[in-house]
Amino acid sequence: MTDRASVKVVSFVLPTRREAANTLLRVAIFFAASAAFIGLSWRSLRDLRTHGFYRFFAFELLSALILLNAPVWFRDPLSVRQLVSWFLGAVSIGLAIEGFRLLRLIGRPVATAARSTNLTFENTTTLVTVGAYQFIRHPLYASLLALVWCAYLKKPFALSALVLALSASGFLAATSVAEERENLGTFGAAYAAYMKRTRRFIPFLF
């Protein structure tokens, strides 16, 4: 084999090894994230009536989507699809910050009961209806939805990415329906009235 041929073989093999290493790293990150999600959701996974049951699968699908498209995350950063993706990412961050802030300041969550399937910040004692919650009932899930489609647009023509994005969106919708049922049980007529004047994820639309 000539030196030139050897160089070609090496240049072909090395990227393949790098890609394999990157794939293994992403798989390891996925399993680590899954372990964390199970730690947060193990009580909910015993009861499919809880919103946490559906949220677990939404988290799993979202993390898979992000890791799938991570290698092309910054490719063509100024293309139209990427600009839309950056916008959705910014919306996701803004809604998450606003949602957690309002739940803490106005919702006044209490400590989680030993057998509760809720996370601590979800055990609000006051119905939050201001800020982002004035227009949509689920700013935090809307944040995750925005992140789902932000990640999808990194490689929008891949069938696997589309399946993951649609599945994650479906589980987030199921999560919100289950949580609304729980909130009706907690806040009663006040929450029923709140549902009539707000949308689920997108102000004035949906």
What is the residue-wise DSSP string for 120-151?
GGG--SS---SGGGGTBS-HHHHHHHHHHHHH
Distance of CA 48 to the CA centre of its chain: 19
Residue found under tokens 């000539």 = 2
What's the confidence (pLDDT) of residue 48?
87
Within a 10 A sphere around the Cβ of 168, how many other Cβ atoms? 26
Does 128 reside within a domain?
yes
Does 206 reside within a domain?
no
- The pLDDT profile of the chain, 206 residues, written as one tens digit per residue, is 454 544 444 444 455 888 888 889 999 999 999 999 999 888 888 888 999 999 999 999 999 999 999 999 999 999 999 999 999 999 999 999 999 999 999 988 887 654 567 777 788 889 999 999 999 999 999 999 999 999 999 999 899 999 999 999 999 999 999 999 999 999 999 999 999 999 999 999 98
Domain carrying residue 48: 3-196
Structural domains in the chain (count) = 1
Does 38 reside within a domain?
yes
Does 201 reside within a domain?
no
Does 118 reside within a domain?
yes
Record the pTM. 0.86
Dihedral Cα 39, 43, 49, 53, nearest 10 deg: 10
From the list 72, 16, 55, the residue with the least C-alpha distance to 143 is 55
What's the confidence (pLDDT) of residue 163?
97
What's the confidence (pLDDT) of residue 19?
81
Q: Which two tokens stand for residue 204?
A: 């004035």
Which class for 130: exposed (0-12), middle (13-18), buried (19 or more C-beta within 10 A)? exposed
